[in-house]
Amino acid sequence: MIQELKISTPGRVCLFGEHQDYLGLPIIACAISLRVYLEGNKRGDNIIDIKLPDINDRETFALNFPIKYCKERDYLKSVLNVLYKKGFTFSNGIDCTVKGEIPINAGTSSSSALIIAWVNFLAQMSDQEKQLNPEEIAYLAYEAEVLEFAEPGGMMDQYSTAIGGIIYLESYPEVKVEKINANLGAFVLGDSGEPKDTKYILARVKNQIQNVCKELQKKHPEFSLQNINIDELNRYAKYLSDEQLVLLRGTLKNREITGKAKKLLVKSSLDHKELGKLLTEHQHVLRDILKISTPKIDKMIDSAIKAGAYGAKINGSGGGGCMFAYAPQNTEEVKRAIEKEGGKAYIIYADKGTYSSILELMQ
């Protein structure tokens, strides 16, 4: 019987495709070498006791299914409810501790990394003691985070942190994940320290573009973000306001940049400078059209590029949080440049996905 278990799960950066996956458009994400660690063991009763020393918090509740939610985004409980609905049972409670290196509420998937680790941990500590594959872990976490609470997010965070490395994710017409084995150099992640309202930003951008699509599909049922060519937009202009047309053009521009990036990343020899240019081009759309960047993050990006980064962009839903710079050379100079603008900087690399270590095995 597995008695004590440790799980390690990475954070992630979105290389290309912010605000795309929930629209059914592809993204490219990369797991990073900042991780969350969950370690725990079974109890003799039905109590779940989770210590969260990084945020000076603790959650304790009983295993009485369905477990009642007591707050918004009560993910630690929703994972248990989702697993229970899938046939997992729990005869024992759990004692565990969560610690991490990932900046919290900063766009690097600290929350999803924790939920991925929790799914991985609970499946193995259940009565079934089942070791799930990364795709199974990812979808269960997506159910617990997004579907259970009718949240506006997509699948990027769950799949990138579960699978690890670089992934190309398509969610339309069905979920399809492709691992990309590009030889990336160092990145520098910069945490602006600016708080972000992820739910608000996601809902605002998602609702805007979805409203545009609904309006167009009333007149042109064949309209699809997946298939329309950016050069065809003028034929729809009369149905949209100038603001809506600009937003739609920006969404398709991001789709186009993501496609170029995939072609670049799968080549046998990676053009690092061209990758950097695409990152910066993506940032211009996110800043000027989707308007999810901030003045402080813009300064951190500009300073990183002046210090020798090949390219840089905001990371995640935006409105604060982190940016990152691609800096396979001049890495330390780029780190210092970001710090001079008031950011907390981390040198990071692509990293593997969630994995477990059995600390004690009792027969």
Model confidence over 31-51: pLDDT tens digits?
999 999 999 999 999 999 999
Rounded CA-CA distance 40/137 in Å is: 18
Rounded CA-CA distance 20/300 in Å is: 24
According to the model, what pLDDT value does residue 9 have? 98
According to the model, what pLDDT value does residue 210 have? 86
Mean pLDDT of all residues belonging to the chain:
93
Q: Do 139 and 257 have their domain in common?
A: no
Instruction: Give 135-152 pLDDT, tens digit per residue.
Output: 999 999 999 999 999 987
CATH code of residue 255: 3.30.70.890
Q: What is the CA radius of gyration of the chain?
A: 21
- Cα torsion through 155, 351, 259, 185, rounded to 10: 150
Q: Say whether 8 sits in a helix, a strand or coil.
A: strand
Q: Do 221 and 96 have their domain in common?
A: no
**286 pLDDT tier (thresholds 50, 70, 90):** very high
**How does strand 344-348 pair with strand 187-191?**
antiparallel
Rounded CA-CA distance 343/300 in Å is: 7
Q: Can you tell me the mean pLDDT for 100-128?
A: 96
The answer, yes or no, to whether residue 361 has pLDDT greater than 80, is no
Rounded CA-CA distance 182/285 in Å is: 25
Say if 288 falls within a structural domain: yes
Say if 363 falls within a structural domain: no
Say if 218 falls within a structural domain: yes
Name the one residue in this structure whose structure tokens are 């390219």: 311
Lowest mean pLDDT among 89-93, 180-184, 357-361: 357-361
* Number of domains the chain contains: 2
Q: Say whether 346 sits in a helix, a strand or coil.
A: strand
**304 pLDDT tier (thresholds 50, 70, 90):** very high
Torsion sign across C-alpha atoms 100, 102, 106, 110? negative
Those residues with Cβ within 8 angstroms of residue 30's Cβ, 6 or more apart along the chain or in another chain: 12, 13, 15, 160, 165, 166, 167, 184, 350
Q: Say whether 363 sits in a helix, a strand or coil.
A: coil
Lowest mean pLDDT among 46-55, 232-241, 336-345, 354-363: 354-363
The answer, yes or no, to whether residue 213 has pLDDT greater than 70, is yes
Q: Can you tell me the mean pLDDT for 171-190?
A: 94
According to the model, what pLDDT value does residue 234 have? 86
The answer, yes or no, to whether residue 180 has pLDDT greater than 50, is yes
**360 pLDDT tier (thresholds 50, 70, 90):** low
Rounded CA-CA distance 330/333 in Å is: 5
Q: Do 198 and 173 have their domain in common?
A: no
Q: Can you tell me the mean pLDDT for 309-315?
A: 97
Q: Do 165 and 244 have their domain in common?
A: no
Q: Can you tell me the mean pLDDT for 337-346?
A: 98
Nearest CA among 311, 312, 289, 297 for reference residue 342:
297
Rounded CA-CA distance 105/64 in Å is: 30
The answer, yes or no, to whether residue 211 has pLDDT greater than 90, is no
User: What φ, ψ does residue 25 adopt, rounded to 5°?
Assistant: -105, 155
Question: What is the Cα 194 distance to its own chain's centre?
Answer: 18
CATH code of residue 40: 3.30.230.10
The answer, yes or no, to whether residue 3 has pLDDT greater than 90, is no
The answer, yes or no, to whether residue 329 has pLDDT greater than 90, is yes
Q: Do 145 and 293 have their domain in common?
A: no
Q: Do 211 and 96 have their domain in common?
A: no
Q: Which range in 106-110, 197-201, 331-335 is most confidently predicted, on average pLDDT? A: 331-335
**362 pLDDT tier (thresholds 50, 70, 90):** very low
Q: Residue 103 belongs to what domain range?
A: 2-182+351-357
Rounded CA-CA distance 145/165 in Å is: 22
Q: Do 169 and 33 have their domain in common?
A: yes
Helices 110-125 and 75-85, packing angle to 10 deg: 40
Say if 362 falls within a structural domain: no
Q: Can you tell me the mean pLDDT for 264-279?
A: 97
Residues paired with residue 58 on neighbouring β-strands, in sequence order: 51
Q: Do 26 and 166 have their domain in common?
A: yes
Q: How far from 285 is each of 80, 248, 253, 330, 337, CA to CA, in Å?
A: 39, 11, 8, 26, 23
Alpha helices (runs of H) in 225-271, residue ranges in sequence order: 242-265
Q: Do 130 and 194 have their domain in common?
A: no
Q: Do 141 and 23 have their domain in common?
A: yes
Q: Do 199 and 178 have their domain in common?
A: no
Lowest mean pLDDT among 72-86, 169-183, 229-243, 326-340: 229-243
Say if 246 falls within a structural domain: yes
According to the model, what pLDDT value does residue 363 have? 39
Q: How far from 135 is each of 118, 119, 361, CA to CA, in Å?
A: 15, 12, 26
**347 pLDDT tier (thresholds 50, 70, 90):** very high
Say if 265 falls within a structural domain: yes
The answer, yes or no, to whether residue 53 has pLDDT greater than 90, is yes
Q: Can you tell me the mean pLDDT for 280-292?
A: 94
pTM for this predicted structure: 0.93
Rounded CA-CA distance 74/240 in Å is: 39
